[in-house]
Chain A
Amino acid sequence: GAVVSQHPSRVICKSGTSVKIECRSLDFQATTMFWYRQFPKKSLMLMATSNEGSKATYEQGVEKDKFLINHASLTLSTLTVTSAHPEDSSFYICSAVNPGLNNSPLHFGNGTRLTVT
């Protein structure tokens, strides 16, 4: 079964509103989670690294005030798209690291399809 749960799977919102996406690790405590964005038929672009108990590390070109990340517990990280605009429409995917395993693959959520109208 899934070890990382992402919610919601789909969301449609109006321009100017904010949307929160949740990423939960189910079977382990994840000190680090990653947020990716994927455009249609494109690869995954790393947006930020979410660290439990500290500020997220954003990749170059990603607006931290636009994409707010909170990792308040060892099993939950949230991504909030603030004041969403149609160009924010995309597929957002989170992944989590199991710190108990070295050189291990990431576990991915099933993604969230965001459509901003």
Chain B
Amino acid sequence: SQQGEEDPQALSIQEGENATMNCSYKTSINNLQWYRQNSGRGLVHLILIRSNEREKHSGRLRVTLDTSKKSSSLLITASRAADTASYFCATNPLQGAQKLVFGQGTRLTINP
């Protein structure tokens, strides 16, 4: 069953601004991952954060993880028009081997 909830469902900002997306989940996890999907395409892995990590950076991406609140956030700084896509968080449940459970996604639109 889907366990991830993402907030907001849609976000529209101006180029150059920062975009923050949030994800909540329900069960204990091994790790949490963020993926990007351009319309009608497959998923591209962005960043993985382990359950014992609290923050991780990759380029313009910053991910936080709060296991006590079962939530994560993805921050994209200095957004670009090319960042327009859907972003999904996915959790790897503690008992789920390599299985991923996806959130509902946030549709991000960057206006030039």
**Interface set of A (CB-CB < 8 Å, partner B):** 6, 32, 34, 36, 41-46, 49, 60, 91, 93, 95, 97, 103-111, 113
Determine which residue in B40, B43, B98, B103 has the highest number of CB atoms from chain A within 10 A of its CB, and name it. Answer: B98
In the bound assembly, the distance between CA atoms of A29 and B45 in angstroms comes to 19
Q: Which residue of A lies closest to B44 (CB)?
A: A108
Question: Which B residues touch A46, using CB under 8 A?
Answer: 99-102
Q: Which residue of A lies closest to B41 (CB)?
A: A110
Assuming the contacts A34-B100, A42-B104, A46-B100, asked whether A105 and B2 have C-beta atoms less than 8 A apart, the reply is: no
Q: Which residue of B lies closest to A94 (CB)?
A: B42
Q: List 10 A-B contacts (CB under 8 A).
A: A32-B97, A34-B98, A42-B105, A43-B105, A93-B42, A95-B43, A103-B31, A106-B45, A106-B98, A108-B42
The residue from B33, B99, B102, B104 contacting A105, defined by CB atoms under 8 A apart: B33
Question: Which B residues touch A43, using CB under 8 A?
Answer: 2, 4, 88, 102-105
Question: Which A residues touch B85, using CB under 8 A?
Answer: none
In the bound assembly, the distance between CA atoms of A36 and B90 in angstroms comes to 13
The residue from A97, A103, A109, A113 contacting B30, defined by CB atoms under 8 A apart: A103
In the bound assembly, the distance between CA atoms of A106 and B100 in angstroms comes to 8
